[in-house]
Homo-oligomer: A and B are copies of this chain.
């Protein structure tokens, strides 16, 4: 910066103002400084500044799958709050792989993010303890951290699923299938727990062939759905454990001769335009992101808060598919 100042014939403070876009510089001076900057090839080196200052005004977000539309609103909400606090958001995807989650989270910390928002893929987050002790505020979203105490902001997975299944029972269904995500995933087991609670509350037995937990790309989900819909006593309704499962089940049901009721966990675009409209248990992904990031900045501002579990309610949205009665 001293070279730029010398070349432009101005003081260091003036160069700083121009570089940071601050007011108080005449257009002529600004032009001279910009020319000097260009000529000398001066580039902001935040790495060096980081070492001097300690804060990079950056938040890291570890998501699960950059291509899942569920995370879009969450991602954007985190960015908006970060931006309002003058911080940049950098994010990456764990692709549901605990090792990749760890790699990414540690790499973000190594770049000195001020805070970290993590949608966990794994169930052991002790690897983050040194970072948290060193001052990286960390908030978990959608699923709790494993083996450490930390803030988590998540939806009422249990209650939401329970209400969705109760809705199918109220429409007359007794044989209801549940297709959910890998049992290692907290949301999957919580939603299954809600399914079982709703069935038990109505005194209905659960045939274990009605329950499938596992990875949710289209192929295995379609296989599970077709299996439950076949045989002498098929299910008359399905509860889909997340938006990816719901979309695959919609496709399977489009090819089914008889009507099968469906409630899915998580809303998705165009759910209302399908025929029948798809009834869902909706989370507020944007609210999850917003609440988590607000919490993060509270911690960064110095608030001494014990780790908390912040649970947001879900909302049942009946659109047609969840109200179909059992086929004769």
Contacts and interface: CB of A to CB of B under 8 A. Distances in A.
A170 to B, nearest CB: 27
Given A72-B68, A75-B66, A111 B47 contact: yes
Given A66-B79, A76-B66, A43 B273 contact: no
Contacts of A268: 269
A305 interface: no
A79 B107 contact: no
Contact of A247 (B112, B247, B250, B269): B269
Interface residues of A, number: 53
Which residue of A66, A88, A134 has the most chain B CB atoms within 10 A of its CB atom?
A: A66
A221 interface: no
B92 A134 contact: no
Nearest to A269: B247
The complex is assembled from copies of this chain, and their number is: 2
A250 B273 contact: yes
Interface in A28-50: 37-38, 41-48, 50
B51 A76 contact: no
A275 B273 CA distance: 9
A41 B134 contact: yes
Interface in A42-78: 42-48, 50-51, 58, 65-69, 72-73, 75-76
A47 B47 CA distance: 5
A106 B44 CA distance: 8
A251 B269 contact: no
Contacts of A69: 67, 69, 72, 269
Contacts of A270: 247, 250, 269-270, 274
A121 to B, nearest CB: 14
A93 interface: yes
B254 A112 contact: no
A104 interface: yes
A41 B134 CA distance: 8
A79 B91 contact: no
A90 interface: yes
Interface in A268-326: 268-270, 273-275
A91 B58 CA distance: 12
Contacts of A47: 47-48, 50-51, 110-112
A109 interface: yes
Contacts of A38: 129-130
Interface string A85-116: 00011111100000000011011111110000
Contacts of A76: 65-67, 93
A131 interface: yes
28 contacts: A38-B129, A41-B130, A41-B134, A43-B109, A43-B110, A43-B131, A44-B109, A45-B110, A47-B50, A66-B75, A67-B72, A67-B73, A68-B72, A69-B69, A69-B269, A72-B72, A79-B92, A79-B93, A88-B92, A88-B104, A90-B92, A111-B111, A247-B270, A250-B270, A254-B273, A269-B270, A270-B274, A275-B275
